[in-house]
Amino acid sequence: MQTDEPCTITLEPGTHYICQCGQSMNRPFCDGSHAGTGKQPHALEITEPGDVTLCGCLQSQNPPYCDGSHLKTR
């Protein structure tokens, strides 16, 4: 996902590291590209499998979840 739009994906239980720098080539997941940016990925702990809507614009006030902030940047 290389977009400002949110994405809804199904995640399995476990810890998922969500990109917060915008440089990952594997967005929404972290690939380590944040090194040297001063930003860190968000560790998202999932306890039950299910769908989550993740922020793509990196402006959410509730990261890593989408809060509609992408609509305000247009």
pLDDT in tens, 12-54: 999 999 999 999 999 999 999 999 999 999 999 999 999 999 9
CB 19 within 8 A of CB 35: no
What is the structure's pLDDT at 4? 80
Measured CA to CA, the distance from residue 41 to residue 23 in angstroms comes to 11
In sequence order, what are the residues at sequence separation of 6 or more whose Cβ sits closer than 8 angstroms to the Cβ of residue 10?
Answer: 49, 50, 51, 52
The HSE-up count of residue 34 (CA atoms within 13 Å, CB side) is: 18
Question: What are the beta bridge partners of residue 18?
Answer: 29, 42
Q: How many CB atoms lie within 10 A of CB 31?
A: 13
Its pTM stands at 0.85
